[in-house]
Amino acid sequence: MGEAALFWIMAPIAVLGALGLVFSRKAVHGALSLAVTMISLALFYIAQEAPFLGVVQIVVYTGAIMMLFLFVIMLVGVDSSDSRVETIRGQRVAAVLAVLGVIVLLTSVTVRATLPEEPAGLAQATPDGNVAAIADLIFGTYVWAFEIVAALLITAAVGAMTLTHRERIFNRPTQKELSIKRFSEGPPGEAAGLPVPGVYARHNAVDTPALLPDGTPSEASINRVLVARGAARSTEEFRHHPTPADIEAAAEGDADEPAGEIGTDDGASGGERA
């Protein structure tokens, strides 16, 4: 009774997780949906008196491989606006044919399958234990299938690294060439490079804008990711607002400058007269 209840509760959850993996538009959501399906399968294994498979399903697949997927996704970053244009002709037709073939294969196997009237228990099926029985099947009965799958996975990993490796058709520009290009082609204000974040007297953090030589905060010094997430501090917080004393001092300086220029001109003209 309890096993049947567990099946009818976890089976829809596993199917929904599988559908979420197929139809989710974001890679993170697809990875989480796959984790839900894996955890549901682990519960099925434990309910079928296979605790070793259940623990391996959670520890190895859900705990290690899925976390690796999420770590790579977070490290590389996947934008939801990625191109969905088909780059290989006929891949959708081939995928549809492959799915239909798998459905036909599973249907034929399910129809021809015969189950015993009284299934054997775990003690009769694996008298030496669950781990020993799995090891005997992997390294005994199905050793060739195991080796072929291992070679296939290694080949897939090497192929993925080969495809992602970009062959250089030109030499990497040197630091000197990059500096010359920055000064000759870039805007003059960015010739020396963008200011780094956190360059401020009382703050040293990546979310704090840097100050330019005139004291104004630079929005270009903050990472665009922090700005998009709303985690960056506002530049208005660090912008200098002149006080009345500053305005008065600036007005006095502007008033003194023309007088000095007039005196200089008079001196020059007096010298010329002399």
pLDDT digits (tens, 9 = 90+) for 49-90: 788 888 888 888 877 777 777 777 766 655 545 556 666 778
What tokens does 75 get? 């490290």
In the structure, what pLDDT confidence band is assigned to residue 270 with cuts at 50, 70 and 90?
very low
How high does pLDDT run on average in the chain? 76
Contact 129, 137 (CB under 8 A): no
Q: What is the pLDDT of residues 103-140, one digit of tens each?
A: 999 999 888 887 777 766 667 777 777 778 888 888 88
Q: What is the pTM of this model?
A: 0.46
* Beta strands in the chain, from DSSP E residues, in sequence order: 210-211, 217-218
What lies within 8 Å, CB to CB, of 190 at 6+ separation is 182, 220
Ordered structural domains, the chain, with CATH: 1-76 (1.20.120.1200), 183-251 (no CATH)
48 alpha-carbon distance from chain centroid: 36
Closest by CA to 87, choosing from 9, 166, 200, 163, is: 163
pLDDT of residue 148: 93
Quickly state the pLDDT bin for 100 (edges 50, 70, 90).
Answer: very high
What pLDDT is attached to residue 98?
93
Q: Is the pLDDT of residue 142 over 70?
A: yes
Which among 74, 82, 81, 13 has a CA at the least distance from the CA of 42? Answer: 13
At 273 the pLDDT is 36
Answer with the residue of higher pLDDT: 161 or 200: 161
Specify whether the CB–CB gap between 220 and 228 falls below 8 A.
Answer: no
- pLDDT tens-digit series, residues 221-257: 777 777 777 777 777 777 766 667 766 776 776 665 5
> Whose structure tokens read 């003194």?
256
Contacts of 211 by beta carbon, 8 Å cutoff, 6+ apart: 195, 199, 200, 217, 218, 238
